A = this chain, B = another copy of it.
Amino acid sequence: MKILDGKQTSAALKEEIKAEVLKIKSAGGKIPHLAVILVGHDGGSETYVASKVKACEYVGFKSSLIRYEDNVSESELLAKIEELNSDDDLDGFIVQLPLPKHIDEQKVIEAIDYRKDVDGFHPINAGRLMLGLPAFVPATPMGIMTLLERYQVPTDGKHCVVIGRSHIVGRPMSVLMSNKANPGNATVTLCHSHTPNLKEITLQADIIIAALGKPEFLKGDMVKDGVTIIDVGVTRLPSDKTKSGWKLYGDVAFDEVSPKASYITPVPGGVGPMTIVSLLQNTLLSAKNEIY
């Protein structure tokens, strides 16, 4: 059993990005620049945004944090997006989700110029991903593909079972794993809440991508020997065994499943750390005009 170590891999990637930024700098080029719009003071969002800004600083990107209070109007937010769209210094920007209920998230997502949409949420990027064209890939699927690539996990001709059909993880993963590419070229089964015989299907899987958000859902008796496990779930539950009083759980019962696995991502330290570095990669790709 081999751990797919997201912490180590993302750290290595950050060093690579940092080195590339230094090269750009010394050649007199423009420093990659990411902006983040944060609305309100949601605890989770504050944490994510702080990590993103910190990661930018670490690799030498320029970053801008644009804050609004909860009561910002949709039109004010859209006007800012319009401004960022035409800001030539900016390579990419994201609007941290979720947004307050009076703002139409889909409208906000579609207002972002797809060429700066480093979150990969715009329909054009989703469509280009589906059509196998260069696109900004959402951070979590991108991070998973990078892990598979770096660890040279075989995917071609394998049976990959994706559990969960969310727009930002399950659905794009199902497309990426079946696209004509490497990693990719897998036979992919997409399962979800309407799948009646999940265990029958997971037992056939060479690769399982669990992204349903149910702590320790995937048990040892649901997988075959030699399986590769990608655990996307992160659920925080109260615990009296940790100092913080909280413990993070993945969608996979690690202790039961890992003895049967060829490769497995831990929680924490697996997929999670890969997401922020994927955002950095997308920003760098944008700065180098490698997607558009």
Contacts and interface: CB of A to CB of B under 8 A. Distances in A.
B130 A175 contact: yes
Q: Name the interface size band of chain A.
A: 35 or more
Contacts of A196: 157
Given A130-B130, A185-B194, 5 more contacts: A123-B123, A123-B131, A126-B130, A187-B191, A188-B190
A223 B125 CA distance: 37
A201 B160 CA distance: 13
A122 interface: yes
Contacts of A127: 122-130
Contact of A190 (B157, B167, B187): B187
A128 B133 contact: no
Number of copies: 2
A156 B194 CA distance: 7
Interface in A153-187: 156-157, 159, 165, 167, 171, 174-175, 178-180, 185-187
B190 A195 contact: no
B157 A133 contact: no
Interface in A92-142: 106, 122-133
A164 to B, nearest CB: 11
Contact of A132 (B131, B167, B178, B188): B167
12 contacts: A123-B128, A123-B131, A127-B128, A131-B171, A132-B167, A157-B195, A157-B196, A174-B174, A187-B192, A187-B201, A188-B189, A188-B190
A159 to B, nearest CB: 8
A124 to B, nearest CB: 5
Contacts of A165: 178-180
Nearest to A121: B131
Nearest to A170: B178
A132 B165 CA distance: 11
Given A126-B130, A128-B123, A132-B167, A178 B156 contact: no
Given A156-B194, A190-B187, A106 B133 contact: yes
Q: Which of A157, A171, A194 has the most CB of B within 10 A?
A: A194
A26 to B, nearest CB: 36
A50 B276 CA distance: 53
A67 to B, nearest CB: 28
A123 B130 CA distance: 8
A156 B188 CA distance: 19
Contacts of A186: 194
Q: Which of A127, A186, A201 has the most CB of B within 10 A?
A: A127
